[in-house]
């Protein structure tokens, strides 16, 4: 798997969502992690996206999960690590943490795709409008020139790098076939109240299922929450890192 690394120390593996590549998560999470000493930040391209090819034998979410677990074992060298995921990356991160609870020292999910999503609100613009293409207008609820610039730099260029055949093949069977056990470690889950892609109800449910979960529901943000509420996200991630260190 192709990936970008920054820094040294405890690994932090950050997984992006569907249809993009590492550039979006790198742009959104480096401001939060880049100033923290002792963290090795790892931003991979998920299989079939960016510069990571999908295996010809990958036909479902379980196959992708197996690849990600093997990748995590390789790049962390058996050390404990932190795990972060946005959207589809959050779904895989939750499953990885459940299967490697002794290795995953902390788990953070932002607008995660989860089974049984419900009560998804209609898309609503809260700031600006009449900018960009249809994908931008359907993704961002804050449609300002600044958000459009971020979209055009970090999101749009990756669309042409998606293996569409693999995405359709895996997407038809994206749900994992085995139920994950609740992750017992320090956990953060953040959702946007205006998320018209995956909603927020399933994310809020996580607080009842995971004993050390902090769940935050942010107004004024949709599925592009890492772009739209960067300061709030940064503060929440800082508190999560403090909890991880306290646990250690």
The model's pLDDT over 30-55, given as tens digits with 9 standing for 90+, comes to: 999 999 999 999 999 999 999 999 98
Q: Is the pLDDT of residue 248 over 80?
A: no
Q: Mean pLDDT in the chain?
A: 95
Three-state secondary structure call for residue 32: helix
Length of the chain: 248
Q: Is the pLDDT of residue 60 over 80?
A: yes
Question: Exposed, middle or buried by CB within 10 Å (0-12, 13-18, 19+), for 160?
Answer: exposed
Q: 3-247: which CATH topology?
A: Rossmann fold (3.40.50)
Domain extents in the chain: 3-247
Residues 6+ apart with CB under 8 A from 123: 138, 141, 194, 196, 222
User: 213-218 and 187-192 as β-strands: parallel, antiparallel, unpaired?
Assistant: parallel
Encoding tokens for residue 145? 């020139």
- Residue 15 pLDDT: 98
pTM of the model: 0.96
Q: Span 68-82, mean pLDDT?
A: 95
Task: Return the bridge partners of 14, or none.
Answer: 84
Phi, psi of 91 (to 5 degrees): -65, -45
Confidence of residue 115 (pLDDT cuts 50, 70, 90): confident
Q: Span 65-74, mean pLDDT?
A: 96
- Residue 116 pLDDT: 82
- Residue 112 pLDDT: 97
pLDDT top residue among 139 and 180: 139
Q: Span 111-134, mean pLDDT?
A: 94
On whether the CB atoms of residues 15 and 43 are closer than 8 A, the answer is no
- Residue 179 pLDDT: 72
Q: What is the pLDDT of residues 198-232, one digit of tens each?
A: 999 999 999 999 999 999 999 999 999 999 999 99
């Amino acid at each position: 798997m192709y990936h970008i690394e920054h820094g040294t120390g405890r690994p932090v593996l950050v997984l992006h969502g569907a249809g993009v590549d590492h550039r979006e998560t790198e742009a959104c999470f480096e401001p939060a992690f880049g100033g923290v000493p002792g963290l090795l930040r790892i931003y991979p391209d998920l299989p079939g996206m960016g510069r990571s090819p999908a295996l010809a034998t990958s036909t479902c979410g379980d196959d992708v999960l197996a690849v990600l677990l093997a990748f995590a074992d390789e790049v962390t060298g058996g050390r404990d690590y932190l795990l972060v995921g946005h959207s589809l990356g959050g779904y895989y991160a939750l499953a990885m943490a459940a299967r490697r609870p002794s290795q995953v020292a902390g788990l953070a999910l932002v607008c995660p795709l989860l089974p049984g999503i419900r009560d998804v609100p209609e898309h609503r613009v809260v700031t600006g409008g009449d900018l960009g293409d249809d994908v931008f207008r359907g993704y961002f609820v804050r449609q300002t020139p600044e958000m459009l610039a971020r979209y055009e730099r970090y999101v749009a260029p990756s669309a042409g790098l998606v293996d569409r055949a693999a995405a359709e093949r895996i997407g038809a069977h994206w749900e994992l076939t085995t139920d994950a056990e609740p992750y017992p470690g320090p956990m953060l889950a953040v959702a946007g109240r205006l998320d018209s892609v995956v909603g927020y109800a399933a994310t809020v449910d996580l607080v009842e299922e995971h004993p050390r979960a902090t769940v935050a529901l942010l107004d004024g943000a949709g599925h592009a929450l890492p772009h739209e509420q960067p300061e709030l996200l940064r503060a929440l991630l800082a508190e999560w890192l403090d909890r991880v260190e306290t646990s250690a």
